[in-house]
Amino acid sequence: MKYPPQTWHYGIMAQYWAEFQKYDSPEIAYYRKFIERYGQPALDVACGTGRLLLPYLRSGLDVDGCDISPDMLALCQELAEREGFAPTLYTQAMHELDLPRTYRTIYVCGAFGIASTRQRDALALRRFHQHLAPGGVLLLDHQMSYGADGSWYWKDWLKENREQLDPDFWTEPTHEPASDGSEYRMRSRLADIDPLEQLLTMQIRAERWQDQQLVGEEERTLTSNIYFKNELLMMLVAAGFDEVTVQGDYAEVEATPEHGVLVFIARKKA
């Protein structure tokens, strides 16, 4: 494997995520409806700095969080404490999930397949099943590479385009001022795409500036497994789920080829 499984949610990237996370994205309201419908407690897998967790705590929901990055969790804890919350957070990878509690609802938003292998992803689904109470529900989304949000790299699946990936090419930096007066500058690049293994590799250069002085810089890599509908359906059934439906784009409608994000709703037998 050219790039081993890895993620970039540490250091400056974690700080950036906490600073600029948005609480008005459609998936937040969408997942909240399912927690209210199927029950609590709920588990936010790969909760990061609390983009979904914090709004749910504000709503009075009983939600725990876990994430592979202690940097992300520390910032999540800090943001929660500012608002008077004390969430239960665990530093654990999905495939190693081992918690003292079972849940009525488990959800994974924008994170399944990141920094993992297919074997570990299959194990993660079994761990989710084990941590659900009978009749509990798993919600798991996945961005489709053919969808509107992913189509920018679809052309790179082609052999002639993969051969032309330039290791020296980086996007122009974004410039985003932070609340403390510092500025974050980000560049990214597509490092590799393997259509046989269905594996995408991205890299990012993150800088933090203060008073026009560079105070921190990092270069990190993120790998992501690419899945399609039927593969994930088979994996969910193999993990023990006996009832699975698929919706599209965070709307309660049956998924179609026009949807860029698929949400898998898998129930554990009562």
Per-residue pLDDT reduced to its tens digit, 49-108: 999 999 999 999 999 999 999 999 999 999 999 999 999 999 999 999 999 999 999 999
For the segment 130-155, the average pLDDT, to the nearest whole number, is: 81
Q: What is the pLDDT of residue 179?
A: 94
- Number of neighbours of residue 260 by Cβ within 10 angstroms: 15
**Token code pair at residue 1:** 């494997």
Give Cα separations from 13 to 7, 114, 262 (angstroms): 10, 15, 26
Among the listed residues 41, 68, 40, 64, the one whose alpha carbon sits nearest the alpha carbon of residue 52? 64
Instruction: For residue 157, give the DSSP letter.
Output: G
Q: What is the pLDDT of residue 76?
A: 98
**Token code pair at residue 72:** 């992300």
148 pLDDT exceeds 80? no
Among the listed residues 228, 164, 232, the one whose alpha carbon sits nearest the alpha carbon of residue 193? 164
Dihedral sign of CA atoms 85, 26, 91, 138 in order: positive
Tell me which residue has tokens 């490092």: 191
161 pLDDT exceeds 80? no
207 pLDDT exceeds 90? yes
- SS3 state at 14: helix
For each of the domains in the chain, give its residue range(s) and CATH number, in order of start. Answer: 1-164+175-270 (3.40.50.150)
Q: What is the pLDDT of residue 130?
A: 98
Q: What is the pLDDT of residue 3?
A: 72
Q: What is the pLDDT of residue 1?
A: 64
- pTM (predicted TM-score): 0.94
